[in-house]
Amino acid sequence: MPNAGGGRAAVRRLEAVFRGRQRAALMPYLTAGFPDLDSLPALLAALAVGGADAVELGIPFSDPLADGPALQAAATAALTAGFTLDGLWDVLERTLPSFPLPVVLLTYVNPILAHGTLRFVERAVACGVTGLIVPDLPWVESGPLRRLTRDRGLALVPMATPNSPERHLQRIRSGEGFVYGVSVTGVTGVRDQLAPDVLAFASRLKEAVRLPVAIGFGISTPEQAARVGTVADGVIVGSALVSAMMQDPVHAAGVATATVRALHAALDKQEGRGPE
Amino acid sequence: MGADTTHPVGVELPKGIRPGGRGRFGPFGGQFVPETLMPALAELEYAYRAARQDPAFRQELAHILSRYVGRPTPITAAERLSEAVGAAVYLKREDLCHTGAHKINNTVGQLLLARRMGKTRVIAETGAGQHGVATATAAALLGLRAEIYMGAEDVDRQALNVYRMRLLGAEVHTVTSGSRTLKDATNEAIRDWVTNVHHTYYAIGSVVGPHPYPTMVRDFQAVIGREARRQMLALGGPPTHVVACVGGGSNAMGIFHAFRRDPVALVGVEAAGEGLHSARHAASLSAGTPGVLHGALSYLLQDADGQIRLAHSVSAGLDYPGVGPEHAHLAATGRAQYEAVTDDAALAAFHELSRLEGVIPALESAHAVAWVYSRRGHWPNGARILVNLSGRGDKDVDQVARREAAASRMGGGADA
Ligand SMILES: Cc1ncc(COP(=O)(O)O)c(C=O)c1O
């Protein structure tokens, strides 16, 4: 059920995505408004059909400094096509009540502030969003927003990176939803190879925090997803999916389903992984 | 002081921002960056504190500032300009610094720090190319490798500075994303830093960015005000007004800082471009709203959804949609006042100062001169106005000449 009544149900629903499964959960990323906002319901459905377990939905921003070329281009295209936050809320309000998967919003901090933090959180909750990822709001700056999201039953997802010190991993133990493990020191983008130490990084996170650990940034191919999935509780694939959609925007929904299906199949084949 | 320094903008802070935390100026500032950069900012803050307290570091910096940059820079009593405006005007001559602007004060400081931290590679963003040239210069002096990010638009507009940077041994990366100007060059520099954070030092060019940059850059620029305060006393008394242009705000913070506890009006002059009521200006404090850009909470130009708007100014160095967080605080508390001057007024001042004093100002600095000039005949008795002449205008002569030629071809005549 979507998070109609607020409270803890939504956060528990998000955490449940990563637990009690034979394989790692698959969380594809979409840029909202790319190729246009009208196609968002169909694209979300396409991800579900392909076998996604949850969806990360990015709000386009003019200055996405944690993103590589693919997601920058998608954001620019979405803004050029007239994306607005009010337009997004309209679509989500209509779509999420009947959408089977938890949806987590990714947004840079400034659109939240401009919209009004409380208003932003309340609208997200009212639409049935389950979590929030803010890549330029590090944990030490996130106190006020965290209190608000906690009160309203929205998970503010903490992030960790390969160079995060122990102290940071200790702090984010009180986070909610899952830990977003950034696999590389770098920005989002398609990469030929996984970071060599990504499995060790995922293990380190799992040992340090009690939350599920999903790994993202630079995971592009089904093989890479499967490898990361041997350790992580979840795998996030963004640039590879958005790039594929960009190559063929007219058939974006079909491309999305096919891309997710291939990732899902690879995760399903994964061996050596027991239930939680 | 008094009515002179009250800020016209009512401050309405976004909810969800913690006032007065670490690295804050009142509620402004902070560290709004990806988690990857947090350890690097901590390392930088630690290294900077240690360096500040190290006599050897301070001595080496002082040595470079005097023997290489050419400090102290003089103050010129601008007699003919004073006559024209009806008050005593003094120019702090940062245009006489090596490379022609105050930017070098900051880059020698930061690159000395980078070397001390064992970083081998330095990156920087640049708009017009002044900070890029200053970074490339300091890198050459200190034997560091420099890579400069510059928007494609600016690479075209400022070809000479691109050549200068390359001549100095720096690599210039052309940025084609987004607006293809300073804002996106800064995004790209931050992306590089996130990626290469282990061995790379990011040298920011103004009092912007996440903590500790606004404080550190201000401290490196504060030499301007320390000298000027002493020099003004020797010239017969303290100033009543200190005036500086504000892009990111480094030359203004640099000259304001030493005067912050004195009974002196501090005036920052932003670029009003084609007018504050047009969409084409760069006056973040006069016409912007609070928000986060490039790691800090400050005032910026944005739409209702928090998308950053493009800035415009005839002066590339002021063409930035944000401003340093300490200025936001000085504005909010009323300690400094912020004014805005149009392209046309700045261009007129560019001519005026050249003709009256034999000093061709940078178009940025011409904004400060223009504000002083705009109040000619209305200055109170005994006013002593100290203007930070942040840079020289040689870099702008070609652009202004072309603009005036185009204007006269269109039959309008030069606007100055
Ligand atoms: C001569 C000069 N003055 C002023 C500025 C604006 O920067 P800030 O406001 O940081 O002093 C620049 C920037 O390039 C400049 O070159």
Spans of all domains in chain A: 4-268
ipTM: 0.95
Q: Report pLDDT for A275.
A: 45
pTM metric for this prediction:
0.94
Work out the pLDDT band at B412, boundaries 50, 70, 90.
low
Work out the pLDDT band at A1, boundaries 50, 70, 90.
very low
- The residue in chain B having the minimum alpha-carbon distance to the alpha carbon of residue A111 is B306
**Amino acid sitting at position B48:** Y
Q: State yes or no: pLDDT of A256 exceeds 50.
A: yes
B247 CA from centroid of ligand 1 (Å): 6
Distance to chain A for B310, nearest Cα, Å? 10
Q: State yes or no: pLDDT of B13 exceeds 60.
A: no
> How many other CB atoms are found less than 10 A from the CB of residue A143?
12
Q: State yes or no: pLDDT of B59 exceeds 60.
A: yes
pLDDT average, residue stretch A154-166: 97
Domain A4-268 maps to which CATH number in 3.20.20.70, 3.40.1180.10, 3.30.420.40, 2.40.128.20? 3.20.20.70
pLDDT average, residue stretch A114-139: 97
Work out the pLDDT band at B261, boundaries 50, 70, 90.
very high
Which of the residues B191, B199, B200 would you substitute to probe the A interface, choosing the one with the greatest number of A C-beta atoms within 10 Å? B191
Q: State yes or no: pLDDT of B405 exceeds 90.
A: yes
Q: Report pLDDT for B7.
A: 28
Residue with tokens 């160079």: A163
Work out the pLDDT band at A104, boundaries 50, 70, 90.
very high
Q: Is B11 on the interface with A (CB under 8 A)?
A: no
Nearest C-alpha to atom 14 of ligand 1 is from which residue?
Answer: B317
Residues of B in contact with A84 (CB under 8 A): 305
Between A141 and A4, residue with greater pLDDT? A141
- The residue in chain B having the minimum alpha-carbon distance to the alpha carbon of residue A79 is B307
Report DSSP state, residue A232: -
Q: Report pLDDT for B156.
A: 87
Work out the pLDDT band at A273, boundaries 50, 70, 90.
low
Q: State yes or no: pLDDT of B334 exceeds 70.
A: yes
Residues B208-239: pLDDT tens digits?
999 999 999 999 999 999 999 999 999 999 99
Residues B34-54: pLDDT tens digits?
999 999 999 999 999 999 999
Q: Report pLDDT for A4.
A: 43
CA B343/CA B39 separation, integer angstroms: 41
Q: Report pLDDT for A2.
A: 44
Q: Report pLDDT for A3.
A: 41
Distance to chain B for A132, nearest Cα, Å? 15
- Give the orientation angle of helix A222-229 with respect to helix A198-208, to 10 degrees: 40
Establish whether A223 is a catalytic residue.
no
Q: Cα–Cα distances in Å, from B64 out to A30, B55, B97, B254, B360?
A: 51, 14, 12, 18, 26
Distance to chain B for A84, nearest Cα, Å? 7
Which of the residues B35, B173, B180 would you substitute to probe the A interface, choosing the one with the greatest number of A C-beta atoms within 10 Å? B35
Residue of B97, B223, B250 best suited for mutating to test ligand 1, as the one with most atoms within 8 Å of CB: B250
Q: State yes or no: pLDDT of B377 exceeds 60.
A: yes
- The residue in chain A having the minimum alpha-carbon distance to the alpha carbon of residue B291 is A110
Q: Report pLDDT for B128.
A: 86
Residues B289-314: pLDDT tens digits?
999 999 999 999 999 999 999 999 99
Establish whether B183 is a catalytic residue.
no
- Which residues approach ligand 1 with their CB closer than 6 A? B 101, 103, 127-128, 130-131, 206, 245-252, 317-318, 362, 364-365, 390-391
Work out the pLDDT band at A5, boundaries 50, 70, 90.
very low
pLDDT average, residue stretch A214-230: 96
Q: Which of B66-70, B158-162, B168-172 has the lowest mean pLDDT?
A: B158-162
Ligand 1 atom at shortest distance from the alpha carbon of B127: 14
CA B77/CA B81 separation, integer angstroms: 9
pLDDT average, residue stretch B269-287: 97
Tell me what the pLDDT averaged over chain A comes to.
94
Residues of B in contact with A182 (CB under 8 A): 34-36
CA B35/CA A66 separation, integer angstroms: 10
Work out the pLDDT band at B320, boundaries 50, 70, 90.
very high
Residue A184 near residue A201 (C-beta atoms within 8 A): no
Write down the catalytic residue from A15, A36, A53, A67. A67
SS (H, E, C) chain B: CHHHHCCCCCCCCCCCCCCCCCCEECCEECCCCCHHHHHHHHHHHHHHHHHHCCHHHHHHHHHHHHHHHCCCCCEEECHHHHHHHCCEEEEEEHHHCHHHECHHHHHHHHHHHHHHCCCCEEEEEECCCHHHHHHHHHHHHHCCEEEEEEEHHHHHHCHHHHHHHHHCCCEEEEECCCCCCHHHHHHHHHHHHHHCCCCEEECCCCCCCCCCHHHHHHHHHCHHHHHHHHHHHHCCCCCCEEEEECCCCHHHHHHHHHHCCCCCEEEEEEEEECCCCCCCCCCHHHHCEEEEECCEEEEECECCCCCECCCCCCCHHHCCCECCHHHHHHHHHCCEEEEEEEHHHHHHHHHHHHHHHCCCECHHHHHHHHHHHHCCCCCCCCCEEEEEECEECHHHHHHHHHHHHHHHHCCCCCCC
Nearest C-alpha to atom 15 of ligand 1 is from which residue?
Answer: B317
CA A106/CA A60 separation, integer angstroms: 9
Tell me what the pLDDT averaged over chain B comes to.
93
Q: Which of A30-44, A183-197, B357-371, B377-391 has the lowest mean pLDDT?
A: A183-197
Q: Which of B71, B79, B4, B95 is nearest to B366 (CA)?
A: B95
Q: State yes or no: pLDDT of B5 exceeds 50.
A: no
> How many other CB atoms are found less than 10 A from the CB of residue A216?
25
Residues of A in contact with B302 (CB under 8 A): 110, 114
Residue B67 burial (CB < 10 Å; 0-12/13-18/19+)? exposed
Q: Report pLDDT for A167.
A: 95
Q: Report pLDDT for A270.
A: 73
Q: State yes or no: pLDDT of A128 exceeds 70.
A: yes
Q: Report pLDDT for A191.
A: 87
Residues of A in contact with B292 (CB under 8 A): 108-110, 113, 136
- Whether residue A112 and residue B306 make contact (CB cut-off 8 A), yes or no, is yes
Residues B91-103: pLDDT tens digits?
999 999 999 999 9
Q: For B339, phi and psi rounded to 5 degrees?
A: -120, 170
CA B14 to chain centre: 26
